[in-house]
Chains A and B, each alone.
Chain A
């Protein structure tokens, strides 16, 4: 007896120790995702404070606990393996341990309960899984009611339906929401009498053509089944203070209205799916609703907690798998106790309490201020957040919003740009441009008027005519004698000019210049290109280089609003190849096919034609790319239309150019174009095959080398 007392004393001492901050840093790395989907460092948002075990509570070890709930009246832990509910106050003092309850005069017990929800009046709703029922207990522990449902209660149930409730939640209107194991139809709802009211939350199925076809030939009975087949197996449900439901399934979290409408928002850079581009993906198993529609969701795979705001913006991440304090082995549930977060570990049977750091507190304050309408206060908090984490895009946006309201559009633009917030930037820029234009309207108009007048006067004075004739003279001076002779321009031969250009360069440049004629007069342009030798290979090569450069320029210098590319990952060789390789393929395949089908074009002519045909791409996209830096998102449509026109123009030119160069009629040209496209596909396929073989051979040689030289 005495020994026992001592043990109790020791336990109490131990207990006291738990209630204080740990003096160590968190054993995990915190991060957030940037717009490119890269995990970037972030300060710790939450740090572990202490862990609570069954032993430290002196109620014996917890065994596979599956749920934790924090309500008005305390903390509730579902100790599944021990078939009991543990009720603690908010300071971790045990209030009661419910193993038995009075069910209409008979003693009853739980069997592997998995979930609990406690309403503000203290009524406990327990998902008594293996007993196949929901048990409603009064605060004093006596049973009010049990709820169950069998397949006979509802004709849409599958024949094999067995009610195995794992999670339960209750709205303020006393609607009971239940997740049952192996049920794919959504969340079961019950009214306060315990009557089953149907499923909610199954996402609407968008039928494919095949589904529609099959449903047409299916029998009435089959059709009924088909309509109900909505494969969604939620594993968690809870209700927040405002009555919204949170349900998880895989790495999807749905925020539902009380009637089951999906109100989830994904306005962040990425959907709220936990880790981005990670295999395996996150698996959400529990949600803790937070203030202002934010929520913290627990990922079983990596033991991490992701916290999103109501719009689905990732706020912070913490936690991990491991054996140090703050890491979990098999996390099973999360709950919020004020600003603290509690994570239940079913393998270790312990609850770890995490406290927010200054960083997380500032984020909370900023969101809180914003939602209360205190935008300036919110910006101040975001400013402090940024001081701690320069990587958080969302904070820049937060500041940008406040700067917009202050009318400081230039600063807002800078903030939005740093925050990669394109809609924000667009509207800030719109307002900025507007004020700039409005503010300097008279100046702009005056400048325009002066320019107009000056130009008019200069024209009147014949300056332009003179310039034109000067240019003509210069052209004659530079023109090689051979060219002049060839053109029969004998007068030119007498013009004295020491700096006549070499024939090759002259021809190249005049060929380049000629491309401007070709794009507006395709038929005779291409005809002359071929027959009058107006185009040449040099010009075509320069044009190809220009097209490649334009493409790279476009990808890099398109305005911030329209450019989502991560410029640090640019591979310039790939960019060039993605222009040059298709061009060459087109040229070669087209030539190979047309030689068989009495095309008149040579390989050289086809290449020149192709290059000339792409001129509009260069002419349109270079100015367009520059302009894209000065327009808003709404005006972007014009840019896309212009870009489309440039492509359409180029391909039309290519089509007719091919026709002219081979002297085909329209029908034959359509045919040969189709064949060429098919031919290119074939060449690509064979090419890939070939590279694969080369790759395998390379690997084989490496293996041989290693076997020979590395073996000891």
Chain B
């Protein structure tokens, strides 16, 4: 599948429309174009824009007026609006947030590379060099002049040179003494050892001038001395001369001392710079300096940076940055002069973002394998450091709409939810939807407090004024969390994006003293790919988005619609459960049958006799051990439900009546931990980040606290294939036509094994699930059913139950829309939660009618009281006799609707009034549903309280 996708990307659209449209974007450069779209990039800040030619609408990666338009955020936070991505990484125990604008574009650390049909922007995040790293400490005069000064004006030259001292080493003249350097004496260092037969000569003009002055004075003194020697002694004239001599000598001594001190300081400074030199970045130390370290100065005039205050250095850096002289050149010069070379900042990240036009889509990619992050890189002290890159928020402000805009954000929470740009809720919460729910193998939650629906689809979108876009996460979806926020909360813009957790962090408790962080083996290695489709005024709403996504799925996977008209009645039969009962005083797990094979057939017969056309039977808990059945590495039906012939009878009965029958099997969770179960948690269980086997927990429904004793383990995705293969191989003697894969439509989890061979990230896990489902469908010819409806499973299944038909009801995402049902309708047979477990059957029924869904019941033959005081007490209303007649009545009601729809897809859906919705199907039928407990008037017709109106197609 990956290969196919890659091919789609590779066969890039080559037909470019000739006669490029005049750029509507003044500061942007056209970089790719096809007949649908034109891609522009701003070379100054790497912002990207796409012109949708059909609607003539331009979409920007960042709001164009953020500098002036942003009223709420300021400083770095405000600048984030200019970013194409925001990353999060760990520095020890603190979490650091960096973005492409503040920490790359502003530093000029990005490169724009045109690629086929698009552009690639390579970012380097965080300053590679510290500011001082631009300033050479010691540099030969020749290099200084040729490389640095040549590019500078006289004024700038002066700015630089005024902070340097020029010197060189010259051969010691006969009898000349070296300058006494204070520190050297203290350390008992030998001047001879360091300077050998050479002495340091300061070549600064001012120093030279003063030296000349002193020499002149010396000459004067010499002259005076000769004069005194020539004059007779004891005279007054003599005394005057003597006095003059003394004053001159004093003056000379002062001058020469001052010069010597200056020189001594100079040498001390130089030696220290050299002493600081590192051989493999270990400090050399003054005592180790030998002539070898300084011999390059012999007869070579060289500049040395004098002590300068920081603000002066800042000025110098400013000047130096205008030249082509870089810290890399500084390194060369420093190495040449045996001075410590600047060490590049290791805390830097290299990330590339690619924008490619693919027909009428904009595809944005982040190739993760090309991401560079500091992973065991030695720092300046030689300590190996890792700054794990955990999270990437990609194009957080793509299409961001300002406060004046009208529209909404779409998030895939449950059935789908809208975040209206303007709302009256007094809240500062943002909406976060973890795609495919939480990863079960992350550290298990201590408690659950928030009631929420799952996001099953990797899709988000926006309607802004009269246009919109829908974004489909094609790769990296399992790592994604969709985030939506409205203007007035953190920013003055409405925006929706997805962030990707590419590396998970876990915590290992250390007794009571604290914890240490532990990370997954390696970051995600695939790529992150989001496909944006721009919608014109006619399609720029959630229905348009859903229809586009449906079309996308159908085209990509060549899906065949399974709906043939008529409502589907899904019956989930519970076979057996395990309860603990005393046997001779000893508590033992005992399997209690709730629906035997024969009874299942009896229920099905009764339903068929009532004329139910589309009966979909799922048989849960028919494997040995019941619902929490034994490790399914072989197919063992529960004996207490009947013998093999009984099971075959049931399967044959289903085949004869063309009634799909799905045997429910749970490959993901292993409950049977017996010695001979064939399962070893050490070998077969998925691991948590702390490398312990992942445990399935229950939570106290009153307090939300985790119940410490786990009830099972998660099977490692790496073992899935062999378990499924051996299970399926034993199905041969039976006429099994369908399997229901528990968890495949609701769960995706990683295996954070510390063994790199066994480690499986969440995206790899998606691939494994898909491979398995594909094999079951294509090689085994099985019909598949899942719960929930994660996009992972959609290409391979024909029916889906427990599809969410409502949302979590977050304050700002309170508007429920049937996005998921619109995608499913007409392609899959699906139903929501079991009606007999819902608190308001009428409402659930109306929800099914609204989107043309089927209905589901979960039943047992035995009395419901058998589940009381067992682990399965959530099945609190189970007995089929309690529900049979009501189910028939409900089925007849929705069947009337479904027959009118004849497998049609949804073409439009809108809210007519509060709690009144109208759905239009593409065969022309219309359903109007009134959820209110009072009648409403729609046009001429009154719709009763909690009722609906069906208008058949063609009328």
Contacts and interface: CB of A to CB of B under 8 A. Distances in A.
Task: Verify that A and B bind, or say they do not.
Answer: yes
Interface of A: 14, 16-17, 20-29, 31, 33-34, 36, 39-44, 47, 55, 275-276, 278, 302, 317, 320-326, 348, 357-359, 386-391, 396, 418, 549, 552-557, 567-568, 570, 572, 699-700, 702-703, 706-707, 709-712
A358 B701 CA distance: 22
Q: Which 10 A-B pairs have the closest CB atoms?
A: A44-B839, A390-B864, A39-B702, A553-B585, A556-B582, A570-B587, A568-B580, A324-B809, A23-B931, A556-B585
B806 A47 contact: no
25 contacts: A20-B915, A20-B934, A23-B846, A24-B806, A25-B806, A25-B839, A27-B808, A41-B876, A42-B876, A43-B877, A47-B840, A323-B811, A325-B814, A358-B839, A358-B840, A386-B865, A389-B877, A396-B865, A418-B868, A552-B585, A555-B585, A556-B582, A568-B869, A706-B508, A707-B510
A43 B451 contact: no
Contacts of B874: 41
B518 interface: yes
A706 B429 contact: no
Contacts of A709: 691, 754
A583 to B, nearest CB: 19
Contacts of A21: 843, 915, 931-933, 946
A710 B691 contact: yes
A709 B691 CA distance: 10
B839 to A, nearest CB: 4
A421 to B, nearest CB: 13
A707 B509 CA distance: 10
Contact of A553 (B426, B584, B806): B584
Contacts of A359: 839
A391 B873 contact: yes
Contact of B807 (A24, A348, A552): A24
B868 A387 contact: no
Contacts of A699: 511
A391 B868 contact: yes
Given A24-B816, A707-B516, A557 B585 contact: yes
Contact of A278 (B581, B703, B878): B703
Nearest to A700: B511
Interface of B: 386, 388, 424, 426-427, 429, 449-451, 508, 510-511, 513, 516-519, 579-582, 584-587, 690-691, 700-703, 754, 806-811, 814, 816, 837-841, 843, 846-847, 863-865, 867-870, 873-879, 882, 914-915, 931-934, 946
Given A42-B876, A388-B877, A556 B838 contact: no
A525 to B, nearest CB: 29
B703 to A, nearest CB: 5
A387 B587 contact: no
A40 B449 contact: no
Contacts of B702: 31, 33, 39, 275-276, 278, 317
B75 to A, nearest CB: 29
A573 to B, nearest CB: 11
Given A25-B838, A703-B510, A710-B508, A386 B701 contact: no
Given A324-B808, A391-B868, A703 B511 contact: yes
Contact of A567 (B587, B806, B933): B587
B808 to A, nearest CB: 7
Nearest to B913: A17
B840 A390 contact: no
Given A25-B839, A710-B516, A552 B451 contact: no
A23 B915 contact: yes
B475 to A, nearest CB: 27
Given A390-B865, A710-B516, A322 B451 contact: yes
A478 to B, nearest CB: 28
A359 B519 CA distance: 48
Contacts of A17: 914
Nearest to B579: A568
Contacts of B451: 27-29, 320, 322, 324
Contacts of B808: 27, 324
Given A549-B585, A567-B587, A389 B915 contact: no
B879 to A, nearest CB: 8
Contacts of A568: 579-580, 587, 869-870
A390 B870 CA distance: 11
A572 B702 CA distance: 29
Contacts of A357: 839-840
Contacts of B867: 390-391
Contact of A275 (B586, B703, B841): B703
Given A31-B702, A44-B839, A389 B876 contact: yes
Nearest to A56: B424
Contacts of A44: 839-840
**In the complex, which of the residues A324, A552, A553 has the most CB atoms of chain B within 10 Å of its own CB atom?**
A324
A323 B701 contact: no
A47 B810 CA distance: 16
Contacts of A557: 582, 585
B937 to A, nearest CB: 14
Nearest to A37: B702
Contact of B865 (A324, A418, A549): A418
Contacts of B837: 43
**In the complex, which of the residues A21, A44, A278, A553 has the most CB atoms of chain B within 10 Å of its own CB atom?**
A21
Contacts of B875: 390
B876 A388 contact: yes
Given A47-B839, A706-B516, 4 more contacts: A21-B932, A43-B839, A358-B841, A712-B519
Nearest to B838: A25
Nearest to B917: A23
Given A34-B869, A556-B585, A390 B703 contact: no
A320 to B, nearest CB: 7
A37 to B, nearest CB: 10
Given A389-B876, A390-B867, A572 B839 contact: no
Given A323-B811, A390-B877, A572-B587, A39 B915 contact: no
A29 B701 contact: yes
Contacts of B807: 24
A302 B702 CA distance: 9
B522 to A, nearest CB: 12
Nearest to A552: B585
Contact of A386 (B429, B864, B869): B864
A645 B933 CA distance: 67
Contacts of A23: 806, 816, 843, 846-847, 915, 931
Given A359-B839, A553-B585, A390 B878 contact: yes
A29 B701 CA distance: 7
A321 B448 CA distance: 12
Contact of A556 (B587, B870, B879): B587
A324 B450 CA distance: 10
Contacts of B426: 348
Contacts of B869: 34, 36, 40, 568
B359 to A, nearest CB: 39
A301 B818 CA distance: 35
A27 B809 contact: yes
Given A21-B933, A703-B511, A39 B914 contact: no
A403 to B, nearest CB: 15
B518 A712 contact: yes
Contacts of B810: 323-324
Contacts of A707: 510, 516
Given A39-B702, A570-B587, A706-B508, A20 B876 contact: no
B809 A24 contact: yes
A39 B876 contact: no
Nearest to A327: B451
A47 B806 CA distance: 15
A154 to B, nearest CB: 43
A26 B840 CA distance: 10
A536 B882 CA distance: 62
A702 B511 CA distance: 8
Nearest to B427: A323
